[in-house]
Chains A and B, each alone.
Chain A
Amino acid sequence: DTEVTQTPKHLVMGMTNKKSLKCEQHMGHRAMYWYKQKAKKPPELMFVYSYEKLSINESVPSRFSPECPNSSLLNLHLHALQPEDSALYLCASSQDLRPETQYFGPGTRLLVL
């Protein structure tokens, strides 16, 4: 199984809503990532978890809150988002911190109204 799954595929939320994005992998990878990608732009790294501990936070606003309940799951909790937060949110995992071992999920397309 060389797949990273993400749910939901699409999400529409208001600025006062609380929602969560989920990511799952069963490849035994110990590093997991959240990226944000705006239309026609490259992915931007948000968070990195290594061995279930947050190792990198790229100065992301606190309205985004990551969580890694176990080595297979990664969540991104969303609260009080702004319309400019609308984007494709990509999850990735890797065996170690080498990008060449990184597998990306299909993403969650988020629209904030």
Chain B
Amino acid sequence: EDQVTQSPEALRLQEGESSSLNCSYTVSGLRGLFWYRQDPGKGPEFLFTLYSAGEEKEKERLKATLTKKESFLHITAPKPEDSATYLCAVRGPGNMLTFGGGTRLMVKP
């Protein structure tokens, strides 16, 4: 059974304080790891797809990396508008997504 664990559950940062979110996964035959951002009361918004170990993707202040066991979402010099829940998900052989519990990020000005 595919498993995805995200840590920490919640993270409070000061504006400009860089940090990383972790996503550990167990899946038989990874067919993609996905990062989403979700604002309260809204649906998840797709951020990145990673397929193989060593791959990296960047978008503005966010950078996602992937190893054989985990993925990191690095946030550089975050701003209050980066506050959201960040979800990680994996796609296994069944082609459907298994989500992690998410990390709730709060960036204070």
Query: Which residues of A are at the interface with B, using a C-beta cutoff of 8 A?
Result: 4, 40-45, 48, 56, 88, 90-92, 97-100, 102-107, 109
Does more than half of chain A's interface fall in helix, strand or loop, or is it mixed? strand
A109 contacts across to B, CB distance below 8 A: 41
A42 and B46 contact, CB distance less than 8 A: no
* B54 in contact (CB, < 8 A): no
Q: How far, in whole Å, are A44 and B4 apart by their CA atoms in the complex?
A: 13
Contact sample, A vs B, 19 pairs, CB 8 Å cutoff: A4-B43, A41-B101, A42-B87, A42-B102, A43-B44, A43-B87, A43-B99, A56-B96, A97-B95, A98-B32, A98-B91, A98-B95, A99-B32, A99-B96, A100-B46, A102-B46, A104-B43, A105-B43, A106-B43
Which of A42, A103, A105 is in CB contact (< 8 Å) with B99? Answer: A42
Q: With A and B bound together, what is the CA distance between A48 and B97 in angstroms?
A: 12
Q: Please report the C-alpha to C-alpha distance between residue A103 and residue B96 in the assembled complex, in whole angstroms.
A: 14
The contact size tier of chain B is: 20 to 34
The reply to whether B43 and A92 contact each other, CB–CB distance below 8 Å, is yes
Whether B32 lies near A100 (C-beta < 8 A) is yes
Q: Return the chain A residue nearest B97 by Cβ.
A: A99
Are B102 and A100 in touch, CB under 8 angstroms?
no
Which chain B positions have C-beta within 8 A of A100? Answer: 32, 34, 46, 49
| Chain A residue, CB-CB nearest to B102 | A42
Given contacts A42-B87, A99-B32, A99-B91, whether A106 and B41 have CB atoms under 8 Å apart is yes
B88's nearest neighbour on chain A, judged by CB, is A42
Extra pairs beyond A43-B99, A90-B43 (9, CB < 8 Å): A40-B104, A43-B44, A90-B44, A98-B91, A99-B32, A99-B89, A99-B97, A102-B46, A103-B46
